[in-house]
């Protein structure tokens, strides 16, 4: 039962978010060998000015050992 949570800046339409969720769910089901009906996807918007404190510092850095796809940027400022 994979659950995937995507965090992004605001500005995408509901149609864009729905399409993204569908594609991510399909890819996860195929890669993990599970039924598509078992996959859930949440998309949460985070304001750009809050990204470092709400995502980078609290989720990306502490969970670096669990990241299978690491970001190609840093938030060192």
Enumerate the active-site residues.
2
Beta bridge partners of 45: 8
Burial zone of 54 (CB within 10 Å; 0-12 exposed, 13-18 middle, 19+ buried):
middle
| Helical H segments across 1-77, by residue range | 14-32, 51
């Amino acid at each position: 039962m994979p659950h995937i949570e995507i965090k992004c800046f605001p500005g995408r339409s509901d149609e864009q978010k729905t399409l993204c969720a569908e594609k991510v769910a399909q890819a996860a089901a195929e890669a993990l060998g599970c039924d598509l009906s078992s996959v859930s996807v949440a998309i949460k918007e985070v304001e750009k000015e809050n990204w470092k404190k709400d995502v980078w510092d609290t989720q990306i850095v502490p969970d670096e050992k669990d990241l299978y796809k690491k970001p190609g940027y840093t938030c060192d400022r």
